[in-house]
């Protein structure tokens, strides 16, 4: 189990869970851009959180699906994966 989720993995999850194709480099160079710019809403984030919980068998910190930017989301997710929420 990786201890850190990357922007590349987030882009892949956005594709598989929400059907959105996003360049991982764009996410990484603009971590404070709102998810709305990529077309991702709270339901898409909820699907990603659910996938991560299933994948890693650990709960993700409540409120992750309310993150507004990729940088904020990765901070919450990586903290949850590192500490086991």
Spell out the domains of the chain, with CATH numbers in brackets. Answer: 7-83 (1.10.1200.10)
d(CA 35, CA 81): 21
Query: pTM (2 decimals)?
Result: 0.91
Tokens found for residue 82: 């590192």
CA dist., res. 53 & res. 49, Å (int): 6
pLDDT at residue 2 above 70? Answer: no
| pLDDT confidence of residue 85 | 56
**Six token digits for residue 84:** 């086991």
81 pLDDT more than 90: no
Q: Residue 55: is its pLDDT beyond 80?
A: yes
Q: What is the pLDDT of residues 59-75, one digit of tens each?
A: 898 889 999 999 999 99
Is 70 exceeded by the pLDDT of residue 1? Answer: no
Taking only the tens place, the pLDDT of each residue in 20-29 is 999 999 999 9
CA dist list (Å): 83 to 2, 18, 52, 60, 80: 12, 27, 14, 10, 5
């Amino acid at each position: 189990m990786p201890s850190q989720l990357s922007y590349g993995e987030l882009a892949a999850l956005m594709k598989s869970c929400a059907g959105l194709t996003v360049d991982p480099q764009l996410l990484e160079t603009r971590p404070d851009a709102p998810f709305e710019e990529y077309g991702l809403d709270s339901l898409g984030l909820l699907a990603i959180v659910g996938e991560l919980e299933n994948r890693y068998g650990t709960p993700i910190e409540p409120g992750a699906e309310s993150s507004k930017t990729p940088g904020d989301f990765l901070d919450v997710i990586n903290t949850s994966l590192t500490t086991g929420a």
